[in-house]
Structures are given as structure tokens and as C-alpha cells.
Amino acid sequence: MNGFAPGGASANVKFKLEGFRPLGDFLVVSPSTCVTPCEVHVAVNPNLVGLGGPGRVGAIAVTFVTVDQTPPSRSGISVTVTLVRPPSPVVRAVVNSASLEPAVTPGALVSVLGSSLAPTLSGSFDSGGLFPTTLGGTSVTFNDIPAPLISTTAGRINAVAPYELAGQKVAEVVVRYRPGTTAEKTSAAFSVPVTDTVLAIFTSARSGSGQPGILNCDGEGCAANQPQNPAPPGSIISMFGTAAGIWTNSVPDGAVSVMARSFDYSQVSLTIGGQPARILYAGTAPFQVWGVFQVNAIVPTGLPSGPQDVVLTVGQLSNAPESVFVFVK
């Protein structure tokens, strides 16, 4: 709406979205309020379901009204919408969300990679502390067991592998979009091995190795550990990962840990640059699913500057195959 001036008014007029005719919130307008000259974008709302089959919908009137003018002036545009049936989802890989190893572990975070998978949405846990198994009309099943969904995009779905996979060797992963409707789309089944246990640290690029998603923390807060922001020896760092097979308690699929619960410290060790690091806390990350853990530790003194390997061990589990490192000052 560059230069939009309702009622013949001059530029620098504040206006806002008044509404649509005839389909209510069928469209998304951004920004919904602005001061001319201003560029406004109009698009179909991808999060709505039940829009019917493909084909031309017709003209939709988008009306704007001036703000702080008496009487207000109105103007608008007409948008012709044609619904196109989306392609079927395609699964190309199923991996551990932290290490990117092509395997899934009951209770751990898993990423389904492919194309045309789902709208871009983030899940949130409900009052019962559970993440949903359907997000924006999309669901993912492992051997026909629905998985709790953390977030979805066209190329990646982050989910929690169902605990019911325990004891199974292979999982058949299927992505479904709007099942049971005329717009239903289903991917071909994708086979992935199932492992009993896993321990992996998240990296900042979710690449499975390299620069980790580690935070340098002090009295003023935490900031990402980077080459330009290395951790001084003796300072505190915080890291996150996904693990399964560590806890013996039984929780529902997609349940969050409301309170911090520590690992058995007698089984936990951490080395940075080959030197033992003092662990301040190791256990669940509050208000994250049980498959996510957090470790707070002190960087050992005497380390040389530069990237130093980080190796976390819990019992028989270790992230050593990842080659994760922290930048030390």
C-alpha cells in the first residue's frame, strides 16, 4: 500500500486493517497497521484448515481504515485467491536431533527431514505438561504410534520418539497432513533403526558436531560461546542435549519435567580439553521434555586458548563420537 492515502488525503496517514469480505480471517495482512507510505503484504493464512479442495476461490476484499481522522476514510484492495493442493510430504531422513545419527531412541528428541512436511509452527505443552501429537494438521507416527511434536517446518519436524518403541529394532516413520479429510496427504513409510540408549549434546547449528550450543554464564546472564566470545578458565558454562535410557521413572510421551531432577552424580563426569571439569548441575532442563538435559559446569584452569573438546559421560553413555568443543579464552 505504498502511498495509500484514503479519501484523497496526503501522505503520512496512519491506517489499520479493518477486515476482509467475505471469508473472515482467510488471509494474513502484515503489517496490519502502518503510516503511509508503507508496503503491505497479503498472503493466505497457512495455519487454517478446512479450506476445501483446490481451485479458484474468487475475489476477497481487504479493507483499510484511517486512524485519528474524523470522519475516518476507507480504502482497500481486491485479492483473487486460488487454492493449490500441496504436494505429499516426503521423508528423506530420520535422525537424532542433537547428533544427527540416523537412529531413534525412545524418549529422545528426533528430527524428521524431508520436503513438504508441514507448516512452520512451534508446539507448546498443555496444562497437563504434554506436547501435542498434532500440529497445524500434521502428525508423525512411529510404527503407528503418534509422536509428540515440538516444532514443524516444510523441511524439518522435531518430535519426541515414543517410549512404546522400547524393545523394537526398527521404526516405520510416516508423516500425515490433515488425515481423514479430502485434503489428506501421507508420506511413504521411512525405516529407521531403534536404539535403547543415547546421549548427545546440541550444537548451535544442529549439525551433530563442531561449535556447540554452549552458553557462557556470569552474574549478568548467559551468552553464546563463540570464537569472539570464549569462556575464561574458571567461568561457568551451560550446555543442553538429548538423552534416553538414563531415567528409570515412567512418564507419558511428550511430558515435560516441571522441576529440575539431577542425574546420579556418581555416574556423571565431564572433561574439557581432556581435563576434568567441576559439574554444578546435571539433569533435566526445567519445562523441557524429559528427553532434554542440561549441564552447568566450570571451565578448568590451565587450558590453552582456542577450541577444546567437550566429553560428557553418564554411566556407560558418552557424547564422545560427536566431537563437540567449547571456545576457551
β partners of residue 234: none
Length of the chain: 329
Which three three-digit cell numbers place residue 83? 487454492
pLDDT at residue 170 tops 60: yes
* Alpha-carbon span 326 to 306, nearest angstrom: 8
Percent residues over pLDDT 70 in the chain: 86
Whether domain 90-196 has CATH 3.40.50.970: the reply is: no
Which three three-digit cell numbers place residue 18? 479493518
pLDDT at residue 58 tops 90: no
Predicted confidence (pLDDT) per residue in 242-274, tens digit: 998 877 667 899 999 998 888 888 889 999 999
Which three three-digit cell numbers place residue 90? 516426503
Q: Residue range 70-99: average pLDDT?
A: 84
CB 79 within 8 A of CB 66: no
* End-to-end CA separation in angstroms for the chain: 51
- How many C-alpha atoms does 271 have within 13 Å on its Cβ side? 10
Reply yes or no: is the peptide bond before residue 71 cis, omega within 30 of 0.
Answer: yes
Q: Residue range 18-39: average pLDDT?
A: 78
pLDDT at residue 205 tops 90: no
CB-based burial, 233-270: b 16+ in 10 Å, e otherwise: bebbbbbbbbbbbbbeeebebbbbbeeeeebeeeebeb
With CA atoms as reference, report the closest residue to 118 among 189, 180, 46. Answer: 46
Domain boundaries of the chain, sorted by first residue: 6-83, 90-196, 199-328
